[in-house]
Structure 1
Amino acid sequence: MHVWKKMMTATAAITATIATAACTGAPAAPGGETSTAWSVPMQQPSTGFEPNWSLDGFADQTLRQVVRVTTGGDTARITLSNRFGRNDLRIAAATVGRTESGARVQPDSLRPLRFQGSDTATIAPGADLTSDPAELRLAPSESATITLYLAEPTGPATFHAQGYATSYRAAGNQAGVADSAAFTDTTHSWYFLSSVQLSGGSAPADSIVAFGDSITDGFGSDNDGNNRYPDALADRLAAAGTPRAVLNAGIGGNTLLSDSPWYGESAVRRFDRDVLAHNGVSTVVLLGGLNDIGFSEVDLPTYKPNPVVSVQQLIDAYRDLIARAHRAGLKVVGGTLLPMKGAEYYTPTSAAKLRALNEWIRTGGEFDVVADFAAAVADPADPDRLNPAFDSGDHKHPNAAGYRAMAAAVDLNAI
């Protein structure tokens, strides 16, 4: 699928700023430094893993999305992305508020969002746009509801396929309505919304980005459960009295080296945008390569491209990411790849590559910290297999308990 990269034109009440990275580095809002409290990588429209609205887009519809922030603040901004859009994205109205339950917003918290003073915005193909600050108090681990009224046809929508959170759709303009009755359509993807930034909070700004594929994204976790491993890591930090933002930069199916129409741009291509562009990041956790190894072992249409990739190529990709992170002043945590015996990826060849890559991660001395995720979730009777207590059912993705075990493998004093 083609990725459209057009220069922006001023065609609306405001001018959107072109950015190759999400505009999370917006100027600080009154009351303190602005930092990213939630984010998700953007993908081009595709059929995805389950039905979604990305290919059809939206027209005279209201989109309501719920996200959990991992730090608190008194002032909120959002960033919207039209990175993979073919048409101007016109926002007819937007609001933000504290989530009550499902698609219902706490009525007294509902706030209009403006863009350079305007209630409406136009975002050109290839561009992102950050809103003006809105006064809204959010506590750490609280959920925010972002609502967009899309009056004109959007065309195919820039989105994130595997949200593991319910997004809602209603006919007409419901942006200013706190009630949930009109929001009868649902999906488990996020659309256009790439980040939420907060200012005025007390939590430190040294955030952590978890960067990887579906195991970071949360495949096998519970919809609306917020029990992916980055969520569990944020919970551990908060319980230890050292709360920090933990941003999830995982994309299901993502590979270190190959772009995919279903599974996003390669890790080496998207790293700067999805990690380094965020304000206040001090640590990145890298976990990838399983799909590079596994795709070449399976002949399925979605597992394309599927070149045979050597362990050395994967090590070289990791070295590139480590060097870029270090140049930006980040600490780098290397996570070992999880066991997958019994999965469709598993062959003698893939098993040997996985063991060799994990050995380098553990002993190569190139990461600042190692998180031995593999050891944390392995079957004690067979280290090539996931512990049955942690297996979501496909023998390569953990369940919620497995994700908690992964988070427990991270040394909080070392990150």
Structure 2
Amino acid sequence: MSGRFGRCCVAAALLTLAACQAGPSRPALHPPGAPGPPSGVLTWAAGAERMGEGVAGAQYRMIVHTSVGGGAPRIRFTNAFGDRPLTLDHVYAGLRARGAALRPGGNHALAFGGARRVTIPAGSVAWSDPLPGRVPAGADLAVSLRTPDAGGPATGHELALQTSYTGLGGDLTAEDGGAHWARTTSAWWYVDAVAVRPDRPATGAVAALGDSLTDGWQSTADRNRRWPDYLARRLHAAHGAVQGVADEGISGDQLLTDGTGDGAGQSIPHRLDRDVLSQPGVRTVVLWAGVNDIKAHTGVTAAGLIAGYRELLHRAHAARLCVVAATISPFKGRPEWDRAAEAVRREVNRYLRTRGEFDAVADFDRALRDPRDPERLRPRYDGGDHLHPGDRGMRALAGAVDLKRLDCARRD
């Protein structure tokens, strides 16, 4: 679950990107001639992280799981942490059949402003042109790409909890079959969002913003059992106005501090614009954060965390997004737990429950805690490390979200 990050910061305005390494920030650029952000709604997304070194000539076939169905799918590719331009060619997408194999005849070439090749400046993203056809809800989409001359820091998402595939040599991306995709990767590379044109134009999406608890650590890989996955299934069954779900959790993330080593990268406020505010159709943010700040034992106080919550709240409200705050779940039994940390957790939760500043509160603490020892996870929800819930706990978290509170009048 660890990541490979340098100390980073983001200074981005709405619909712009600026991912920066240590040193001065750089303005974000959209590739000349490439299409701008779509007007549809997110059906899948993952928070962007700095990965290892990019590999020239590498080919990836990444599997992503949709939440809301719709036509004209568009895919966002990211070079947020690159230190040089990233060129992608031989880019394809289609619905998966099984393993690395796609449904016959369903692998379509992607274009970018009509061109089959795109060069993404460092710190930027690029949306593809719309693909033909429709993507169903709850489907696996296979996105295949080649990086002919990649180098320097790559961008992706490390804790995918989804088997994807790699290949070297030849041109595999156009193939429907999976026989030549013999190697696997547990990360997503260079892709961070998929949007569709929904069947109902008013359909919106919710972005789940947090750390490894939201990223799904301790849930079963390849089964889509993170709590945002369970939430997506609840929303699909409810047929409400909010249907899309974007899992923007990143393992090790903190609310107040950028990470300086493995397991932690940009703080949540520093990636809010890129991962949430610039995404199409996002109507609501579910914010679940703070436990990593508390565990770090760096003098974090409840007052400091509350100030961090308020900063995010104000920025999201300025963008007319609803914000649902989730209470911090217990972690007694971990080496980092002590009475002082528990006191901070309880004070933050008291603020979230009682002050009424957020559009709604999801009481994840109450959903997961052991009634006989509220400082611990309920044993049947504990994924084994006394912090992360397993599959049953993930389902309980999704059940603690009031679906009626995921939409509000701020968009009007």
* Corresponding position of 1:283: 284
CA distance in 1, matches of 2:138, 2:277: 23
Secondary structure of the residue that 1:312 maps to in structure 2? helix
CA deviation after TM superposition for structure 1 residue 254, in Å:
0.3
Preserved CA contact (<8 Å) 1:16 1:127: no
* Corresponding position of 1:404: 395
Preserved CA contact (<8 Å) 1:84 1:125: yes
CA deviation after TM superposition for structure 1 residue 200, in Å:
4.9
1:6-405 map, 5 Å: 6=26, 15=32, 26-28=37-39, 34-45=40-51, 55-172=52-169, 173-202=171-200, 204-242=202-240, 244-261=243-260, 262=262, 263-296=264-297, 307-405=298-396
CA distance in 2, matches of 1:371, 1:76: 31
In structure 1, what residue type is equivalent to 2:37? A
CA distance in 1, matches of 2:113, 2:368: 48
In structure 2, what residue type is equivalent to 1:251? I
TM-score scaled by structure 1? 0.88
CA deviation after TM superposition for structure 1 residue 312, in Å:
0.2
Secondary structure of the residue that 1:92 maps to in structure 2? strand
In structure 1, what residue type is equivalent to 2:155? T
In structure 2, what residue type is equivalent to 1:193? V
Preserved CA contact (<8 Å) 2:66 2:138: yes
CA deviation after TM superposition for structure 1 residue 180, in Å:
1.2
Does the C-alpha gap of structure 1 residues 354 and 211 become closer, same or farther in structure 2, counting only changes over 3 Å? same
Preserved CA contact (<8 Å) 1:43 1:159: yes
Q: Which region of structure 1 is more displaced relative to structure 2, 193-202 or 224-233?
A: 193-202
CA deviation after TM superposition for structure 1 residue 377, in Å:
1.1
Secondary structure of the residue that 1:175 maps to in structure 2? coil
Q: Which region of structure 1 is more displaced relative to structure 2, 76-85 or 239-248?
A: 239-248
Secondary structure of the residue that 2:265 maps to in structure 1? coil
* Corresponding position of 2:16: none
In structure 1, what residue type is equivalent to 2:48? M
Q: How many residues align?
A: 382
Preserved CA contact (<8 Å) 1:207 1:247: yes
Does the C-alpha gap of structure 1 residues 200 and 410 become closer, same or farther in structure 2, counting only changes over 3 Å? closer
CA deviation after TM superposition for structure 1 residue 382, in Å:
0.8
Percent identical pairs in the alignment equals: 37
CA deviation after TM superposition for structure 1 residue 268, in Å:
1.5
Does the C-alpha gap of structure 1 residues 90 and 185 become closer, same or farther in structure 2, counting only changes over 3 Å? same
CA deviation after TM superposition for structure 1 residue 320, in Å:
1.0
In structure 2, what residue type is equivalent to 1:289? G
Deviations 1:90-138 (A, max 9, x none): 1121000001112111122110001111111111211111111111321
Preserved CA contact (<8 Å) 2:29 2:123: no
CA distance in 2, matches of 1:357, 1:171: 50
In structure 1, what residue type is equivalent to 2:42? T
Deviations 1:11-41 (A, max 9, x none): xxx7377xxxxx9x6244xxxxx22211111
CA deviation after TM superposition for structure 1 residue 381, in Å:
1.3
Does the C-alpha gap of structure 1 residues 15 and 41 become closer, same or farther in structure 2, counting only changes over 3 Å? same
Gaps of 5+ in 2: 1-5, 8-19, 407-412
Q: Which region of structure 1 is more displaced relative to structure 2, 200-209 or 388-397?
A: 200-209
TM-score scaled by structure 2? 0.88
Secondary structure of the residue that 2:309 maps to in structure 1? helix
In structure 2, what residue type is equivalent to 1:87? R
CA deviation after TM superposition for structure 1 residue 156, in Å:
2.6
Q: Which region of structure 1 is more displaced relative to structure 2, 212-221 or 183-192?
A: 183-192
CA deviation after TM superposition for structure 1 residue 344, in Å:
2.2
Q: CA RMSD in A?
A: 1.9
CA distance in 2, matches of 1:8, 1:366: 33
Q: Which region of structure 1 is more displaced relative to structure 2, 180-189 or 107-116?
A: 180-189
CA deviation after TM superposition for structure 1 residue 366, in Å:
1.1
Deviations 1:47-68 (A, max 9, x none): xxxxxxxx23222221010101
Does the C-alpha gap of structure 1 residues 189 and 223 become closer, same or farther in structure 2, counting only changes over 3 Å? same
